[in-house]
Chain A
Amino acid sequence: MLKKILIANRGEIARRVIFTCREMGIETVAVYSDADKAGIHVIEADEAVRLGTSEPSESYLNIDSIIKAAQKTGADAIHPGYGFLAENADFARRCENEKIIFIGPPAEVIEKLGDKTVARQIMSKGGVPVIPGMLESESDFKIIAQKASEIGYPVLIKSAAGGGGKGMRVVASFEEMEEACVSASSEAAAAFGSSAIYLEKYIDQSRHVEFQILCDQHKNAIHLNERECSIQRRHQKIIEETPSIALTPELRDEMGKAAVAAAIASGYVNAGTVEFLLGPDNSFYFLEVNTRLQVEHPITEMTTGIDLVRRQIMIAAGQPMGIAQEDVKARGHAIECRIYAEDPENDFFPSPGTIEYLKEPSGPGIRNDCGIYQGCTVPMEYDPILSKLVCYAEDRQSAVKKMIRALNDYVISGIKTPIPFLVDILKSQPFESGQTYTDFINAHFKDWKPASYNAENPSNANNMKNAENKADSDIAACIAYIADELCGRPETKALGTASKEAGFATPWQTLGSWNR
């Protein structure tokens, strides 16, 4: 078994990996950049090694420094988390060469599946349904246009190297084609260093449904059911849930089998995710394989009771799976909301800064994978994810209500977060009724503004009600503003006499306030 693991990542995911390592009796090494000297992962780990300056290329993307840190601390293995080097075949290969276990699939598999067109070819051959489209990337606009008319409009242009929505364009007709090709390939070149693009049929009213897979080194492969991640903003997932409201047991079984077939076709080892697009007629198509632990993995852990990081470590150590497909039983419903440092009132512009106050929600069925603490600074150099709030309940409706309650109990001050936006989505009729297609945000929340703006335009009954609530809420907030001064803080530094002068006969005051 492994004795010491270096986590080549930061923030909430590094902390989450550390937790499982500690439970397994494995020592942990954190790595950090200058921006993260006091990062949560540095605080939680047994050891911490500085990589370099704040730029990702000098720190979390610096393969040499990370390998050196692993050698210096005597780590057996490296867990890459997600993002940064998690899907970098060169890094995995370097680990293999240096005799350090890379907790993830073999370099060769990462490489094959990283090229979306190669992945499509593998899946086609392996009998996994792929979206009708091109199997190879192309740069000649005339050939692309000809393919588009063969596939039939609307089509979707995608980047061969890409992900995260960069280089993606929906094209409705021939007239739009040339311009779209030019802009998509230049965007892809800027983002990934490769301008290669290809076409897929565009499927309207589709859902993003992905399957968690686990494969050991002994040719055992299972899936752990699906996650629906259709709620996306700028092609980034923001709310994920399992099970998907759109899947029947038969369809789940069929898609799960396809996911396992995809894993086998690519020679997969360790935890991975097979992404599918699910059409309105229940036809499904392979999108891509994510060769890493996903951001949204906790919802699968909640419903199946399986610790995915523990399984990743056991598989990397060469242990056999020990669970068969029929042992996997999912219960209840889990939802995850991603909490980013961004300002929902200002077009979701990033909002780095210092966390002045933090109160995490708690209660039955609530898990918060949190990468911040009160007083810490959220650096501007990296992805702005602060935490992932996960709620588990016996059914979807209860899980949604729990999530709304938990979000309303979550206090993060000092920076902006999209919590009000998430609450409005969860409370909305289209979400409640499960009309969660990938265009959800554009279709229902394109011009979303916080409640205070709606109150100015009480055009319908619902808004009237909002306006009344808003007025009540305003007055409560104003009273709180004044009460805060009457309570005599922050000047009143735990002085019993001063509190008495404020005139509130509660036992708390005689104890003094809990100021530091």
Chain B
Amino acid sequence: MEYNLKIDDRTVDIEHEDKNENPIRFKTGDEKFDVTCFPVSDHQIHMTINGKGINAYISRDRDGKTVMINGISHRIEDADEQKRRLSRKKGGSNGLPEEITPPMPSVVVRIMVNKGDYVEKGKGVIVVSAMKMESTLSAPFDGRITKINVAEGDKVSPGQVLVDIEATQ
């Protein structure tokens, strides 16, 4: 079985031979690895890779897995799967998020704009606070504020659009 995995910022092509063998032979490029493994708990597997014992701690979510080995954590996604997902999603052309939404659950501290205001890309629109740290969310493009969906003091979560901006052409 072949995998095309995106790990942090690089891609690794890796395949394994018959999974019923023990150990299982893995290959990436010219390198070969003999692997045995067993689950220790829901979040831990113990592997031996070419005879060396390694504990990996794994948490899974909708888009992939986070694998931690020796204190270093790696974000891993299936690149083929990711490509399919991205083509479905309409992403921002400049890499910036298209919407004003907090990166984490927060409280609205200050709203720096009024409905009808024109804002330039990068201008601070709203300040949110979480765990005593404040963070300013900025306009992703030039535009006009068409609606403010929250009030100061509101609790907000990621995905919630706080301010609607209509792009100016």
A residues neighboring B (CB under 8 Å): 341, 346, 349-353, 356-357, 359, 380-384, 407-411, 413-414, 419-420, 423, 450-452, 456, 473-484, 486-487, 489-490, 502-506, 508-509, 513-516
- B104 touches which one: A351, A474, A484 (CB < 8 A)? A351
New A-B contacts (12) at CB < 8 Å, excluding given A359-B44, A413-B66, A477-B74 = A349-B133, A413-B43, A420-B71, A450-B72, A473-B74, A477-B7, A478-B14, A479-B47, A480-B47, A483-B47, A487-B37, A504-B36
Contact with A along B114-158 (1 / 0, CB 8 A): 000000000000000011110100000000000000000000000
Secondary structure call for the B interface = strand
26 residue pairs from A and B, CB less than 8 Å apart: A341-B131, A349-B135, A350-B132, A351-B104, A352-B105, A356-B59, A380-B130, A381-B131, A382-B131, A407-B71, A410-B71, A413-B68, A414-B59, A419-B71, A473-B72, A474-B8, A477-B56, A478-B76, A479-B26, A479-B35, A480-B58, A482-B16, A486-B16, A504-B22, A506-B38, A515-B41
Does B88 sit within 8 A of A, measured CB to CB? no
Chain B residues 31 to 47 lying within 8 A of chain A, measured CB to CB, are 31, 33, 35-45, 47
Contact, CB under 8 Å: A503 / B21: yes
CB-CB nearest in chain A for B14: A478
Contact, CB under 8 Å: B8 / A452: yes
User: Which residues of chain B are within 8 angstroms of A352 by Cβ–Cβ distance?
Assistant: 104-105, 130-131
Bound form: Cα–Cα A117–B7 in Å: 54
Contact, CB under 8 Å: A481 / B5: yes
Contact, CB under 8 Å: B9 / A452: yes
Does B96 sit within 8 A of A, measured CB to CB? no
Contact, CB under 8 Å: B42 / A478: no
Bound form: Cα–Cα A410–B70 in Å: 9
Report the contact-size class of chain B (Cβ under 8 Å from the partner). Answer: 35 or more
Contact, CB under 8 Å: A380 / B16: no
Contact, CB under 8 Å: A409 / B71: yes
B residues neighboring A (CB under 8 Å): 1, 3, 5, 7-10, 12, 14, 16, 19-22, 24, 26, 28, 31, 33, 35-45, 47, 49, 54, 56-60, 65-74, 76, 103-107, 130-133, 135
Bound form: Cα–Cα A85–B24 in Å: 59
Shortest CB distance A9–B (Å): 16
User: Which residues of chain A are within 8 angstroms of B28 by Cβ–Cβ distance?
Assistant: 475, 478
Contact, CB under 8 Å: B104 / A476: no
Contact, CB under 8 Å: B12 / A478: yes
Contact, CB under 8 Å: B56 / A505: no
Bound form: Cα–Cα A380–B145 in Å: 28
Contact, CB under 8 Å: B20 / A383: no
Bound form: Cα–Cα A346–B74 in Å: 15
Bound form: Cα–Cα A503–B43 in Å: 20
Max chain B C-beta neighbours (<10 A), residue from A351, A456, A476, A509: A476
Bound form: Cα–Cα A504–B130 in Å: 46
User: Which residues of chain B are within 8 angstroms of A503 by Cβ–Cβ distance?
Assistant: 19-22
Contact, CB under 8 Å: A487 / B31: no
Bound form: Cα–Cα A353–B31 in Å: 39
User: Which residues of chain B are within 8 angstroms of A484 by Cβ–Cβ distance?
Assistant: 45, 56, 58, 60, 65, 67
